[in-house]
Structure 1
Amino acid sequence: MAPRAPKPPATQAAFVLHHYDWSETSLVLDLFSREHGRLAVVAKGAKRPYSQLRSVLLPFLRLQVTLSRPSKMNEDGAAEVQSLRGAEWVGGQTLPSGAALFSGYYVNELLLKFLPRQDAQPGLFDAYAALLPRLASVDDAQAALRAFELTLLATCGLLPDLSVLATTQAPLDPERPYMLAPESGVIVPTHDAPQLTGMAFIQLQAALLHGSQAALQQACEGAGPALKPLLRALLHYHLGHRPLRTRQVLLDVQKLLT
């Protein structure tokens, strides 16, 4: 009996979150894949002028990538670095520009800082893929960003139950205003700070449980502009001493323009 031919490596959907030089001709990529989460991948020869990878290994493009078997395993038995054997843009979303580009890099930095390697999160991957085309929309961008921030925090287990008081676990009064304390959860206002009604918090929690990004984005729109500083405070609390570089760059640009 003739020996069986080895199976070709399987392809998987992925986005490039970040890349940096590895040598004069190669790159190290931080990929966000649907099947395996964040991956460190070496793209050998990708910087050469004739490389077919140069035009596709860009942030925000949905790719189908083929990876080699990892050459090194860490002490937990997980792959550390793999080699990129091929990448193909599948079409659709193109590179954003202007404010959408800053927002895209902001989201990529959130994923880099919050997601561990080799931890598949297909729901978060789908939410990210759905978010990118909305960043260019004047009407949808802010609510879409808030919905993604909530999804990321919930996926990482960092979002408290938004439908109950943190101190007593009692249901919220839909008519009363509440604050979101980063260290605990929803509380009765203790000082002058951004607040949402109990109904807004309840609707956000219901949309998260439903699992629909469209429903969550609608709930974020209903929550209004106060949701942005509430979530930013929560994100910064969990980032600790790891400030977001893209956020600071955007603030510096805004200062220059004004």
Structure 2
Amino acid sequence: MRLEQQPVYVLHLRAYRETSLLLECLSRDRGRLGVVARGVRGARARVSRAQLEPFQALRCDLLLRGELATLLAAEGDGPVRRLAGTAGLAGLYLNELTVRFTRRQDPHPALFAAYARTLGRLAAGEAPDWTLRRFERDLLQATGYALRLDSTAEGAPLEPEGWYVYQVERGPVRCPPEHAYALRGVDLAALAADREPAPAARLPLRAMMREVIRHHLGGEPRTWQWLARLPRR
């Protein structure tokens, strides 16, 4: 199958044979793809190695055969984006989550859109902690693990000033305010509505998301140790 002008982001790359690269990509219409980019490290490459860096929006022509695709052509799809420092670390986290929560050739157009939005927010200098919470929420929604943020585990409406702890298999459950991971109903509602919560909710929301992600992955993403360097704003 030939895919022409397919919107793509490179998630990961490594050397393959003498002059080629093996890419892990997120495509809009075909989901995650393994892509062989032949000859891109050679002197006569039709596609330059620099074009295939992570975080760049690309339009690619691909030949899909079996599990792997072959890169036929690639061109930039917008301005060159460089993520450095904390934004770069956050971008690596996006890439790891995207790889680990998806299967190859399983389309997730909503995840592709969320990934693109999040890269734009990081490039614009938005606070990385809230930006990552938004992406985690959207990734869970797109891959079938949506958070329950509109009612308690028993189905009752959340009380704005009530205190809750999030149980992965159930949802929000009432708890005392001194609980280490306690969140107010208004904070959970803010996450659902894409409204930035109060600063005091940032760490509990981070802890909640980590518990959910750890549960679904059966372990911790490797990039969590890097994310400890991100500023808390």
TM-score bracket relative to the smaller structure = 0.7 to 0.9
2:132 is equivalent to residue 155 of structure 1: no
Note the C-alpha offset of 1:220.
4.7
Give deviations 1:47-72, integer Å, cap 9, x for gaps: 224423311011000000000141x3
Confirm or deny: 8 A CA contact 1:16 1:57 kept in the other structure: yes
- The match for 1:114 among 93, 101, 108 is 101
Confirm or deny: 8 A CA contact 2:82 2:123 kept in the other structure: no
- The match for 1:245 among 207, 215, 222 is 222
Confirm or deny: 8 A CA contact 2:108 2:143 kept in the other structure: no
2:209 is equivalent to residue 231 of structure 1: yes
Matched residue type, 2:173: I
TM (norm. structure 2) is 0.88
For structure 1, list consecutive stretches of 5 or more residues without a partner in the other structure. 1-7, 73-79, 208-215
Confirm or deny: 8 A CA contact 1:182 1:237 kept in the other structure: yes
**Which residue does 2:81 correspond to in 1?**
94
Give deviations 1:100-153, integer Å, cap 9, x for gaps: 110000110000000111121112211111111221455433222111110001
Matched residue type, 1:164: S
Matched residue type, 2:207: P
Matched residue type, 2:147: P
- The match for 1:179 among 160, 165, 171 is 165
Kindly tell me: are residues 83 and 223 of structure 1, through their superposed partners in 2, closer, same or farther at Cα, counting changes over 3 Å? Answer: farther
Q: SS at the partner of 2:26?
A: strand
Matched residue type, 2:166: L
Note the C-alpha offset of 1:250.
4.6
Matched residue type, 1:192: H
For structure 2, list consecutive stretches of 5 or more residues without a partner in the other structure. none
Kindly tell me: are residues 223 and 46 of structure 1, through their superposed partners in 2, closer, same or farther at Cα, counting changes over 3 Å? Answer: farther
Give deviations 1:135-187, integer Å, cap 9, x for gaps: 14554332221111100011122133211111x21111222111112232111
Kindly tell me: are residues 222 and 37 of structure 1, through their superposed partners in 2, closer, same or farther at Cα, counting changes over 3 Å? Answer: farther
Relative contact order: is structure 1 or structure 2 higher (C-alpha 8 Å, sep ≥ 6)? Answer: 2
2:50 is equivalent to residue 55 of structure 1: yes
Confirm or deny: 8 A CA contact 2:114 2:139 kept in the other structure: no
Note the C-alpha offset of 1:99.
0.7
Please say which structure displays the higher CA radius of gyration: 1
**Which residue does 2:62 correspond to in 1?**
67
2:60 is equivalent to residue 83 of structure 1: no
Note the C-alpha offset of 1:40.
0.9
Matched residue type, 2:18: E
Matched residue type, 2:225: Q
**Which residue does 1:11 correspond to in 2?**
5
Matched residue type, 1:235: I
**Which residue does 2:39 correspond to in 1?**
45
**Range moving further from structure 2, 139-148 or 97-106:** 139-148
Kindly tell me: are residues 23 and 112 of structure 1, through their superposed partners in 2, closer, same or farther at Cα, counting changes over 3 Å? Answer: same
Confirm or deny: 8 A CA contact 1:104 1:132 kept in the other structure: yes
CA distance in 2, matches of 1:250, 1:202: 25
Note the C-alpha offset of 1:30.
0.8
